């Protein structure tokens, strides 16, 4: 008899895992985050996992807090043998962890113990990691500290953003989950304890983390732009309004260029900004109140570009 599964997840990253599980196992219930306001219009939007659960005909709940009595009662009524978690966004209390007979498994987007925490994908890009991957762990009361069931690596490409890397890891996680679950169920896997002295932590991102400090090097800021795409977005202030930088690349400064960090330039018909080392060339931007556009399109309406100074504050949440 196949195990009864409950799935907990919310964003796009979690949907391939839910879809894969539902194709092979009885998923008796889904727990996801409540609908939230999103976008410039602040439209009430459902989590992607809820939308998929509706398509698959799976019952779901959206508790504001998993510790709510009603949520726990529903979990008990579903009688799960296993709970699978993928980017759920809430901490599971001990009563939930101990509810299923086979425990809880987490699909985590890093090579644990590197990058425990809420934002492992941006952290890996920001810190110039050359590879990342998926780790399946048996959950305990710590934050991503449980014993490792399986891991799989992939390279981080030079042009990967958090969005593109998340999509790759989502597919990787779904495949690894389907391969690993049968071994986990028949207890042929030997969980491997993590080495905490090698652990690093990736804290939850905040909107203000995206503000750019141009005294950093162009290489660092190029990684920051990729790491914070799509959220919170790397940005600066231009003409007293936010300018979001969606795509950018680093370029060596011209020999003898004495322009100070934060000054705007034009490099090969693209907007660019002087940094502490090199220049940051803006390939795709979004001025306040407008749609995303190429750097060249932006310059057509930015006649003053090249004459101004930009300012910003780099996030202190990550080492450099």
pLDDT higher than 70, residue 256: no
- pLDDT above 80: residue 276: yes
What mean pLDDT is reported for the chain?
Answer: 93
Q: Which of 21-30, 150-159, 300-309 has the lowest mean pLDDT?
A: 300-309
- Give pLDDT, residue 317: 34
Q: What is residue 298's predicted lDDT score, i.e. its pLDDT?
A: 97
The reported pLDDT for the residue numbered 306 is 81
Q: In the predicted model, is pLDDT for residue 42 greater than 80?
A: no
In the prediction, which pLDDT does 258 show? 62
Residue ranges of domains in the chain: 5-202, 207-300
Q: Specify whether the CB–CB gap between 100 and 82 falls below 8 A.
A: yes
Is CATH 2.10.260.10 correct for 5-202? Answer: no
**pLDDT over 70, % of the chain:** 93
* pLDDT (tens digit per residue) in 159-176: 999 999 999 999 999 999
CATH code reported for the domain at 207-300: 3.10.25.10
């Amino acid at each position: 008899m196949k195990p009864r599964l409950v799935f907990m997840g919310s964003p796009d990253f979690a949907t391939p895992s839910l879809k894969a599980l539902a194709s092979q196992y009885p998923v008796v219930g889904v727990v996801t985050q409540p609908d939230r306001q999103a976008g410039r219009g602040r439209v009430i939007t459902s989590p992607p996992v809820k939308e998929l659960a509706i398509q698959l005909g799976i019952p779901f709940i959206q508790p504001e807090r998993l510790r709510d009595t009603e949520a726990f009662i529903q979990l008990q009524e579903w009688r799960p043998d296993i709970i699978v978690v993928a980017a759920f966004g809430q901490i599971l209390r001990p009563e939930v962890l101990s509810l299923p007979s086979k425990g809880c498994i987490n699909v985590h987007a890093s090579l644990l113990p590197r990058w425990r925490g809420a934002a492992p994908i941006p952290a890996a890009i920001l810190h110039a990691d050359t590879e990342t991957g998926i780790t399946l762990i048996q959950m305990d009361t710590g934050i991503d500290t449980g014993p490792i069931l399986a891991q799989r690596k992939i390279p981080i490409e030079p042009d990967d953003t958090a969005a593109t890397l998340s999509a790759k890891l989502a597919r990787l996680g779904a495949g690894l989950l389907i391969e690993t679950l049968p071994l986990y169920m028949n207890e042929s896997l030997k969980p491997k304890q993590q080495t905490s002295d090698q652990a690093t932590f990736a804290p939850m991102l905040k909107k203000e983390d995206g503000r750019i400090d141009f005294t950093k090097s162009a290489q660092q800021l190029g990684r920051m732009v990729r790491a914070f795409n799509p959220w919170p977005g790397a940005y600066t202030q231009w003409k007293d309004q936010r300018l979001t930088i969606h795509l950018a690349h680093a370029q060596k400064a011209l020999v003898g260029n004495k322009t100070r960090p934060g000054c705007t330039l034009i490099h090969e018909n693209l907007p660019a900004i002087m940094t502490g080392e090199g220049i940051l060339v803006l390939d795709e931007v979004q001025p306040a109140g407008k749609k995303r556009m190429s750097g060249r399109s932006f310059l057509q309406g930015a006649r003053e570009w090249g004459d101004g100074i930009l300012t910003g504050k780099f996030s202190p949440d990550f080492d450099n």
